[in-house]
Structure 1
Amino acid sequence: MIAVQNGDLLAGTITDGDIRRGLLRGLTLASPIETILHRDPLVVPPALGAELVLQLMQANKIHQLPIVDDQRHVVGLHVWTDLRTTAARPNPMVIMAGGQGTRLRPHTENCPKPMLPVGGKPMLEHIIERACGEGFNHFVVALHYLGHMIEEYFGNGANWNVRIDYLREREPLGTGGALSLLSPRPEVPFLVTNGDVLTDVRYAEILDFHERHASAATMAVRAHEWQHPFGVVRTQGMDIVGFDEKPVHRTHVNAGIYVLEPRALGVLEPHAHCDMPTLFERLKAGAERTIVYPMHEPWLDVGRPADLEQARSEHA
């Protein structure tokens, strides 16, 4: 709730939680509001875009944000549920779901990896529902191993109020090669994700980032740190030139989520195997811009039994 004074000047904010805590401290409903008022709350100017407002709300774990002008006059209120109402996105999402999941056996002996249940539903369903919540409504699923099970479960997507098409690989073509089967080719930038990646990342933000930077291809990456278990001796020939005590190595790893321009498909050969890093290398060799999108949200590549157990415990 917003408290104002002298008509529309912001005095502060107050929540029902503040009131409950005040009552527990011995205050009464007749106590002055000033005793529990937040006099310097987080506010935003009228010109701040909805995307940045959502980021501020998410970072500060608040669901309402006052809008004030430069004189501290209250001119509006941002509400989380209103901002989360998203417009439909014309961009398709391609989901790679054809892998055999050999590292997850015996779980995948009779079930394709993206169909393994997590929190009562297949991993693939989590991905589709999350993207739906951000306005995506056209999905293309690449199938190979036990693909009929995926197609029988999702059908044309009507039960999720989306459209689902399928790419059927006669043999494994890799994350890049499967895209050569797209027909017709997309006319707008499109997302690609592995069917075993569970994450809280916002797909719409990756797409917007890609478009702002005018890239032919964008790869989402995660920071990865690894600490050497021993002290490292730096040498030149037989001479010691320095010591690093258990140094930490920092790298970026491929998160399995991408955005591609339609022209990126031009570097693929029909029905030829190609993994996604090779596709990026071909684009780079052709003087196309390729960039990374640094991810900070929770992310899990469910490739091993331990990963599956972690996913299930987090979605219990």
Structure 2
Amino acid sequence: MHAVILAGGKGTRLRPYTTCVPKPLVPIGDRYAILEIVLHQLKAHGFQTVTLAIGHMGHLIRAFVGDGSGYGLQVSYTDETHPLGTIGPLLNILPELPEQFLVMNGDVLTDLDYGSFLRRHIASGAPTTVATYQRELKSEFGVLDVQDGQIVGFREKPAFHFQVSMGVYGVSRRALTSYTPGQALGFDRLMLDLLESGNNPGSDLFEGYWLDIGRPEDYDLANAQFDDMIAQLLPQAGQPTLSAAD
């Protein structure tokens, strides 16, 4: 059970919180760093090894996590000298990865069971599986349906429902073997290439708790909810170890 955590971004959407620390290390509830929660969860869900893909202020992440022994994990690192996108960092370490593995953003706050998710991906045989979440977007306007200059329909501030990526993926190594190590490769490009080839990715709909901490409004919400959610997010974790950064 191996996971790759993408932790190399600059976190520009979360400024000024990320001015002095990388996004995965911003605190939640003044008790844990986001990355710390993720590592505790991975251990609880059966993972033994983790690769951290780091870049911007990566030395701080190295100092905080170390070799992972404080979390009961074996942690290794891969460094980005320039931005490689969501999938690009995997290409440089592909020979070292198992045939099936988990990939996730380092700013995800969820009670998804990562181990069960990866096992479902493996059982599906899909090249990749995307953990998805149902979102609702409410229009602030009345929406008109117009044909040939005439209004043929009207909806007052309708709500649109769609599934979004949670930033958590099950990946089969074979889905990446055609790409060149060192190239920048985004999740969007990989999805489009797989669809074009007829090798469709899988979707795994999740109905639990999920926030994208990269968005300021979700970060504020996570802090407001954390005391109520801690037992659900960290049922098997020990006491806060934020001092691990010392």
SS in 2 for 1:132: helix
SS in 2 for 1:184: helix
Q: Where does residue 35 of structure 2 map in the other structure?
A: 124
Unpaired segments ≥5 residues, structure 2: 228-246
The sequence identity of aligned pairs, in percent, is: 35
Unpaired segments ≥5 residues, structure 1: 1-90
Q: Where does residue 181 of structure 1 map in the other structure?
A: 92
Q: Where does residue 242 of structure 2 map in the other structure?
A: none
SS in 1 for 2:168: strand
User: Of the candidates 220, 240, 247, which is equivalent to residue 131 of structure 2?
Assistant: 220
Query: Is residue 269 from structure 1 mapped to residue 172 from structure 2 by the alignment?
Result: no
Q: Where does residue 65 of structure 2 map in the other structure?
A: 154
Map Cα deviations across residues 242-283 of structure 1 (whole Å, 9 max, x no partner).
Answer: 333332211111110000001112133211111112112222
SS in 1 for 2:87: helix
Determine if contact 1:224/1:251 at 8 Å carries over to the other structure: yes
- Do the aligned partners of residues 229 and 183 (structure 1) sit closer, same or farther apart at CA in structure 2, a change above 3 Å counting? closer
Higher RCO by CA contacts (8 Å cutoff, separation 6 or greater): 2
Determine if contact 2:22/2:58 at 8 Å carries over to the other structure: yes
Deviation of residue 183 (structure 1)? 4.8
Cα distance in structure 1, aligned partners of 2:96 and 2:90: 9
Q: Where does residue 98 of structure 1 map in the other structure?
A: 8
Deviation of residue 108 (structure 1)? 1.2
Determine if contact 1:95/1:140 at 8 Å carries over to the other structure: yes
Query: Is residue 253 from structure 1 mapped to residue 164 from structure 2 by the alignment?
Result: yes
Kindly name which structure, 1 or 2, has the bigger radius of gyration based on alpha carbons. 1
Deviation of residue 149 (structure 1)? 0.7
Cα distance in structure 2, aligned partners of 1:261 and 1:273: 19
Cα distance in structure 2, aligned partners of 1:182 and 1:223: 32
- Bigger CA drift: 191-200 or 99-108? 99-108
Q: Where does residue 18 of structure 2 map in the other structure?
A: 108
Cα distance in structure 1, aligned partners of 2:16 and 2:97: 37
Q: Where does residue 235 of structure 1 map in the other structure?
A: 146
Map Cα deviations across residues 174-211 of structure 1 (whole Å, 9 max, x no partner).
Answer: 11111112153323310011001100111122112212
- Do the aligned partners of residues 130 and 244 (structure 1) sit closer, same or farther apart at CA in structure 2, a change above 3 Å counting? same
TM-score (normalizing by structure 2): 0.86
Cα distance in structure 1, aligned partners of 2:8 and 2:181: 17
Determine if contact 1:267/1:283 at 8 Å carries over to the other structure: no
Number of residue pairs the alignment of both structures matches:
226
- Do the aligned partners of residues 114 and 283 (structure 1) sit closer, same or farther apart at CA in structure 2, a change above 3 Å counting? same
TM-score (normalizing by structure 1): 0.68
Cα distance in structure 1, aligned partners of 2:176 and 2:12: 28
1:1-316 equivalence runs, <5 A? 91-119=1-29, 120-316=31-227
- Do the aligned partners of residues 107 and 227 (structure 1) sit closer, same or farther apart at CA in structure 2, a change above 3 Å counting? closer
Determine if contact 2:99/2:174 at 8 Å carries over to the other structure: no
